[in-house]
């Protein structure tokens, strides 16, 4: 299992083509977190830029609407997005089970356009 200073990793949740997703705990305050890690030995600059864009969108556009983005880390060819744990439900289920009000959708679109 991967080791990340300041975090205790509990279990692997998902493995995609370019990412690994783990659940864990931030040791400083025992906050449950999700850690999304860009995987691979030869990560391209394009993959890193795309991963950083994903962090920016979560942190600046979706923050407060769905999930709180806590941190972006990079060290020794390891890139990690750390977000709060939002329960046992995946984000897709949250969106379909409880659609966003029109006001929030408009605010989201305006943030994306800016």
The string of pLDDT tens digits covering residues 48-80 is 999 998 888 878 766 665 678 889 998 777 899
How far is residue 15's CA from residue 96's CA, in Å, rounded to a whole number? 23
How far is residue 73's CA from residue 19's CA, in Å, rounded to a whole number? 14
Query: What digits encode the pLDDT tens for the residues 15-40?
Result: 888 899 999 999 999 999 999 999 88
How far is residue 65's CA from residue 87's CA, in Å, rounded to a whole number? 15
User: How is the chain split into domains, by residue range?
Assistant: 7-113
Fold of domain 7-113: Phosphorylase Kinase; domain 1 (3.30.200)
Q: Can you give the pTM of this predicted structure?
A: 0.74
85 — phi, psi (to 5°)? -80, 130
């Amino acid at each position: 299992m991967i080791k990340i200073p300041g975090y205790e990793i509990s279990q692997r949740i998902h493995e995609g083509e370019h990412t690994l997703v783990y659940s864990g705990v931030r040791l400083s305050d025992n906050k449950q977190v999700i850690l999304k890690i860009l995987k691979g030995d030869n990560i391209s600059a394009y993959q890193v830029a795309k991963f950083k864009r994903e962090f920016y969108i979560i942190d600046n556009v979706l923050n407060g609407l769905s999930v709180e983005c806590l941190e972006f880390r990079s060290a020794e060819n390891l890139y990690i997005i750390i977000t709060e744990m939002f329960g046992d439900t995946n984000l897709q289920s949250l969106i379909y089970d409880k659609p966003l009000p029109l006001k929030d959708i408009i605010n989201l679109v305006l943030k994306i356009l800016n």
